[in-house]
Amino acid sequence: MNNKTLNKVLIAIAIPTAYAVAMRYIFGYESWKEIFAVMSGTFLFLLPTIMGILTVYLLPQEKAKKVPYQIFIPWIPIFLFLIITLMLNIEGWACWIMILPIFLIAASVGGVIGGHLKVKKRNDRLNISVLILIPLLISPIENFIGSVQTNYKADTFIDINAPAEKIWQNVTRVRAIPKSDDKGYLTSFLGFPRPVKAELNFNGVGAHREAIFTKGLVFHEDVIEYTANKKMVFTIKAFPYEIPSTTMDKHVVIGGDYFDVLNGTYEIEPLPNAKNRLHLYSIFKIRTTFNFYAGWWAKWIMKDIQNNILQIEKTRSELP
């Protein structure tokens, strides 16, 4: 690769990266939140597609027509965008892990489109110039239409070789959980708070329970249905103002604009051979314009949290 070609490749990478950073500032500007939003389909799907188109279109002709270049070269600006936003503390690690698959796929799709434009329509710079403005035109329409709230259920269970009475003691109140007992692989990878303990002021309807996590996260739970050694249903509330801003990215904070947990249920189901099945399920809500994707991630995260708690309760209940 000669110097001229190398310079063109570097420009093809630098321009989409700069474009993405500029769009992130525009979409994240608080005063413009009524028309531009980072948590939008426009930003999640359209921005990386345009980045891919720009990257390949700006490549030299001999590079742009090669399919591997069309698919993989657009990933470079995506990863540069990731690094820049993390270094500048514009986005959090958890957000990037969740959006990165979509960004990479969309960028590759855009790369194929950019390759077609480059090879088939060589004098199409005007259309490319208009293309980069499309997110600024689409986002206000998306925000005007508004987001939709969808409720989801995360259902988990575990079989325990212990009597219901002993299991129930470890369900209603969970004593301090050492870090070595924490097996939440996904939440740990995302940097989410880990469970510390759960406290209940009394057994029965009207009781107040607090599920306490690290980094200042507390689930305030009010018991609305209670049958000793069998079932407990409780509402759940997390107050964003209690959670330090460094704990979670604002786009995924529990109790925030986009995600909240509504209620939870513990239920013991008797099994043969003196075993019991402990169920834990929760109802949570998602409010975005791309609930199909956000809901999938939220359910995975909630199941990871619940399975982690269930495993702790199983281990403690089966101790002699």
DSSP reduced 3-state for 168: helix
Check: CB of residue 111 under 8 Å from CB of residue 73.
Answer: yes
Q: In what order do the strands lie in the sheet with 148-160?
A: 148-160, 276-288, 259-270, 231-237, 218-227, 208-213, 195-200
- What is this structure's pTM? 0.89
What's the pLDDT score for residue 35?
92
Which token pair is 179? Answer: 């870090």
Distance, in Å, from the CA atom of 135 to the CA atom of 46, rounded to the nearest integer, reads 7
Instruction: Give the per-residue pLDDT at 209.
Output: 97
Tell me how far the alpha carbon of residue 139 is from its chain's centroid: 21
Rg (CA), the chain: 24
- What the block records as the tokens of 215 is 């980094």
Domain ranges of the chain: 3-142, 148-317
Report how far residue 113's alpha carbon sits from residue 115's, in angstroms, rounded to the nearest whole number.
5
Q: From CA 154, how far away is CA 282, in angstroms rounded? A: 5
User: What tens-digit pLDDT sequence spans the chain (320 residues)?
Assistant: 677 778 888 999 999 999 999 999 999 998 898 899 999 999 999 999 999 999 999 999 888 889 999 999 999 999 999 999 999 989 889 999 999 999 999 999 999 999 998 888 655 666 778 889 999 999 999 999 989 999 999 999 999 999 999 999 999 999 999 999 998 999 999 988 999 999 999 999 999 999 999 988 899 999 999 999 999 999 999 887 677 656 566 777 777 788 999 999 999 999 999 899 999 999 999 999 999 999 999 999 999 999 999 999 999 999 98
Counting every residue written for the chain, the total comes to: 320
Location of structure tokens 């109790």: 255
The fold for domain 148-317 equals Alpha-D-Glucose-1,6-Bisphosphate; Chain A, domain 4 (3.30.530)
Written as six digits, the tokens of 131 are 């293309």
